Amino acid sequence: MEGQLASLAWAWDHGRVFQTAGLFIAGMLIGRQGWFRRENLHNWGRVLAVAICCFFPLYGLNNMVGKFITNPNILTPLGILLSSLANLSFMLMLVGGIIYGYYTTTRLHRMLDRLRPYGRMSMTNYVTQGIIGSAIYYHWGLHLQMGITGSILIGIAIFLVQYAACCLWLRHHTRGPLEYLWRCATWIEFPFVKRQRNLR
């Protein structure tokens, strides 16, 4: 429990809460603009080029700045800023590279297509991973003390079980259970608005 609270406090102190929300909103807007379609692949070429040009200077500067600035009141927020921008650039490099590979490499295209069921239930998988992981490692559950190798094997096993569950669930449903609830929550006013428009 103390570790979880410390993790949440660190995320708040380093701006990760707002960064995560911002990335979710950015992903939604990018998806609505159709950037993930093949015809917009050229846009990701520009993103990839800019991200590569930004990442290496930001990463190097973040590692060097501590040698020139000793005031913690300046160094701490500057380090957070530089690391956040470097991480954003690296994330855009990964996304751009994967999208390019998906549309230009047949083998990668087929492999990623097989992962579609897992991606379509990403919210359900993310939440259940936390529940399963805490049940395995926390004191209220099995409280297992595992090394790196054992943890990796457990992670692979959880992924395989979730993947099989996703494939089975999506045979009978269009989306995952938490995805369905989230859709209902975000569109809860839509029927009311539509009904008002019809009355007009």
Per the confidence metrics, is the pTM higher than 0.75?
no
Quote the pLDDT of residue 186.
Answer: 72
DSSP line for 6-69: HHHHHHHHTTHHHHHHHHHHHHHHHHHTTTTSGGGHHHHHHHHHHHHHHHHHHHHHHHHHHHH-
Distance CA 177, CA 174 (A): 10
- pLDDT surpasses 90 at 76: no
The pLDDT score that the predictor gives to residue 60 is 95
Question: How far apart are alpha carbons 18 and 25 in whole angstroms?
Answer: 11
Q: How confident is the model over 89-136, as pLDDT tens digits?
A: 999 999 999 998 899 888 889 999 999 999 999 999 999 999 999 899
Q: What is the dihedral of CA 188, 193, 196, 200, to 10 degrees?
A: -170
Q: Which residue, among 31, 51, 34, 39, has the nearest Cα to 97 in the 3D structure?
A: 51
What the block records as the tokens of 155 is: 């992670």
Could you give the CA distance from residue 179 to residue 108 in angstroms, rounded to a whole number? 26
In tens, the pLDDT along 129-187 reads 999 998 998 888 888 888 999 999 999 999 999 999 999 999 999 999 999 998 888 76
Please give the share of the chain, as a percent, with pLDDT higher than 70: 91
Selected residue with higher pLDDT from 101 and 16: 101
